[in-house]
Amino acid sequence: MDVIIPGHNIKILSSSLTALSKIGKQLYIEFDPLTGLTLRTLNDGKSSFAEFLFDVGFFERCTSPPGSNLLKKRAREDINRRNGNNATDRIRSRRRRRIPRRRSEDADHDNDATTDDENIQGMANGRHGTRRKRTASNNINRNRNNTESNDDSNDDDDDDEKYLCRVPIRSILGILHSRKGLQSLRIRSIGIDRDLDNDEMEDEEQDARMQLSFEFRIQSNGSMKITHKIAVACAESVIASADRTNCSEIIASPKLLLKMVEPVTSPEIALVISDERRTVTATSFHYADVSLDNFGQGNQTQNGVAGSNLVLSASVSKVLKTETTVDCDEFEEYNYEDGQGIELDEEGDEPDLPTGIDREVSLVFSSKEAKALLQFCTQQAVAGNIDDLGELTVVFHWHWGGKPVVFETEGEAFKGTVILSTVSHKLLNGVDLTSRAQKKKSRSSVG
């Protein structure tokens, strides 16, 4: 990997790493000179996934390290040459052993000598013919092996162009901070890409030799170059996917969405999307709310006394509840799917849709990860790194509780995605999490 990032794009890269650091601890770096640079992370609970893809146009240069593939090709040629010489020596030794030897005969058998000479000559011709056939077959096999080796080398060359590693995000965040007069940043992989015998090395040795080099070009009363090197480790690709077939979506400004969810300080946020009232409500979510509601639905305690749990009631009354509501007309686009057109599952049965999905849906997910992407989008708009349109837009995809939700944003040469798991609608059990429902409960309890 060898990329050069211009100065006006370094802010975007730094902001993306800041957003990723709020989601996971490990950064998975995947580079392909054809598609660009991909940064991914996953939280410890594997319930949140984030990805930033930077296209080739994001960089001034996007190539593999110079000479890395050339050295590997020379190493392969040397290995093939040595293997070919060993095979040739073995064939020659076999041929030497196959040379016909004329046995000396007695002088008294002159008449039989001519016959023996003719037989020997015929045997020699036959052996020469067989030898020609074997030589031709060996040449065919060599051509096949060369073709297969060329195909394998081409595949290996394609794999060699790709780069994948893992590094703690905090290590890179300590480097990518604001610098005055910053012109460009060069990120280069060193170590394992230039190693010719990496297949014979142990994993610990490979990890010890893999590094990323960060070279900053600064123009301030002269030219200056600052280089940082960070050790990285080998890793496998981490990818998360979410089905977006027949899903609902909202396209809105990140500032509007951030104003809606930022006042909510609880770790989980409940998003109640009502197509009937044409509103979206963001409220604080506590698992005690669901437990209290379930206890109040006529369930009985062990003593046979129906009613709500007093301990849960006391705990919920001390919790801060925050709620914000936005009309759907404030969004750029709003498309609500009521569960129609959903495909059958693997067993051929219809999916278990929540009750009342044709009217509204309740989604409960982690708020920190969603805020991280929204803050990234608003920072780019303020920093002026976006085109004349002014700011990025955010696309929010969802189905219902229990299926992941997706936040997406896309700039001129990059794309950001956050996938979050949601609480199952079976656990919510049709509980209305808005203050409107709680007012009804309080009125019914007073009456």
Structure confidence at residue 198 (pLDDT): 47
CB-based contacts of 345: which residues, under 8 Å, 6+ apart? Answer: 351
Residues 264 and 165 in one domain: no
- Bigger pLDDT: 52 vs 68: 52
CATH code, domain with 15: 3.10.150.10
The answer to whether residue 104 sits within a structural domain is no
Q: What is the pLDDT of residue 338?
A: 74
Residue 365 lies inside a defined structural domain of this protein: yes
Count the Cβ atoms, other than its own, within 10 Å of residue 6: 13
Domain count of the chain?
Answer: 2
CA-to-CA dists, residue 352 to 206, 345, 422, angstroms: 48, 10, 15
Q: What is the mean pLDDT of residues 109-113?
A: 47
On whether the CB atoms of residues 58 and 179 are closer than 8 A, the answer is no
Is residue 103, in this structure, part of any structural domain at all? no
Are residues 29 and 163 in contact, defined by beta-carbon separation less than 8 angstroms?
Answer: yes
What pLDDT, in 10s, does the model give residues 293-338?
Answer: 554 444 444 444 444 455 555 555 667 888 999 999 999 999 998 7
Does residue 345 sit in the same domain as residue 435? Answer: yes
Residue 295: the pLDDT is 46
pLDDT in tens, 187-210: 999 875 444 444 444 555 555 578
Looking at residues 166-173, what average pLDDT do you find? Answer: 93
Of 191, 209, 240, the last residue of a domain is 240
Question: In this structure, what token pair is assigned to residue 49?
Answer: 């996934």
- Nearest CA to 191 out of 163, 216, 215 is that of 163
Alpha helices for 162-275 (secondary structure H): 169-173, 203-209, 254-261
Look at residues 240, 273, 297 and tell me which one is the last residue of a structural domain.
240
Range 244-249 average pLDDT: 91
Domain check: are 188 and 274 in the same one?
A: no
How far apart are the C-alpha atoms of 263 and 269, rounded to whole Å?
Answer: 10
- 309 touches 292 (CB < 8 A): yes
User: Do 255 and 225 have their domain in common?
Assistant: no
- Residue 168 in any domain: the answer is yes
Q: What is the mean pLDDT of the chain?
A: 75
Q: Is 30 helix (H, G, I), strand (E, B) or coil?
A: strand
Q: Cα separations (Å) of 328 from 191, 280, 325, 394?
A: 53, 7, 10, 15
User: Do residues 390 and 369 share a domain?
Assistant: yes
Among 157-161, 349-353, 436-440, which stretch is predicted with the lowest mean pLDDT? 436-440
- pLDDT tens sequence across 83-106: 665 555 554 555 445 445 444 444
Q: Residue 133 — very low, low, confident or very high, per pLDDT cuts 50/70/90?
A: very low
The residues, ordered by sequence, that sit 6+ positions from 161 with a Cβ below 8 Å of its Cβ are 32, 33, 34, 64, 69
Task: Say whether both 73 and 45 belong to one domain.
Answer: yes
The pLDDT assigned to 145 comes to: 52
**One domain, residues 366 and 253:** yes
For residue 105, is it within any domain?
A: no
- Is 110 domain-assigned? no
Say which residue, 316 or 254, is predicted with more confidence.
Answer: 254
The whole-number pLDDT of residue 291 equals 57
Looking at residue 445, its amino acid is S
For position 330, what pLDDT does the model report? Answer: 95
pLDDT of residue 300: 45
pLDDT at residue 271 is higher than 70: yes
Q: For position 388, what pLDDT does the model report?
A: 44
Same domain? 183 vs 310: no
**Are 293 and 195 found together in one domain?**
no
Same domain, 420 and 381: yes
Q: How confident is the model at residue 181 (pLDDT cuts 50, 70, 90)?
A: confident
427: amino acid identity, one letter: L
Of 75-89, 155-169, 220-234, 345-359, least confident by mean pLDDT is: 75-89
pLDDT-based confidence at residue 406 (cuts at 50, 70, 90):
very high
Q: Do both 391 and 295 map to the same domain?
A: yes
Could you please report the per-residue DSSP string of 44-59? TTS-EEEEEEE-GGGS
User: pLDDT exceeding 90 applies to what percent of the chain?
Assistant: 41
Which of 28, 26, 50, 35 shows the shortest CA–CA distance to 3?
35
pLDDT for residue 81: 63
pLDDT tens digits, one per residue of 18-36: 999 999 999 999 999 999 9
pTM, 2 dp: 0.71
Residue 83 lies in a domain: yes
Specify if 162 maps to a domain. yes
pLDDT at 391 over 80: no
Q: Domain end: 189, 212, 240, which one?
A: 240
More reliable by pLDDT, 207 or 39: 39
Work out the average pLDDT over 227-241.
Answer: 90
Q: At residue 341, does pLDDT exceed 70?
A: no
pLDDT of residue 71: 44
Q: Are 269 and 364 contacting, i.e. CB atoms less than 8 angstroms apart?
A: yes
Residue 177 DSSP label? -
Q: Which domain holds residue 181?
A: 1-96+115-240
β strands within 191-338, DSSP E: 211-219, 223-231, 248-252, 268-274, 279-285, 323-327, 333-335
7-16, 80-89, 260-269, 426-435: range with lowest mean pLDDT: 80-89
Residue type, 126: G
- Same domain? 40 vs 160: yes
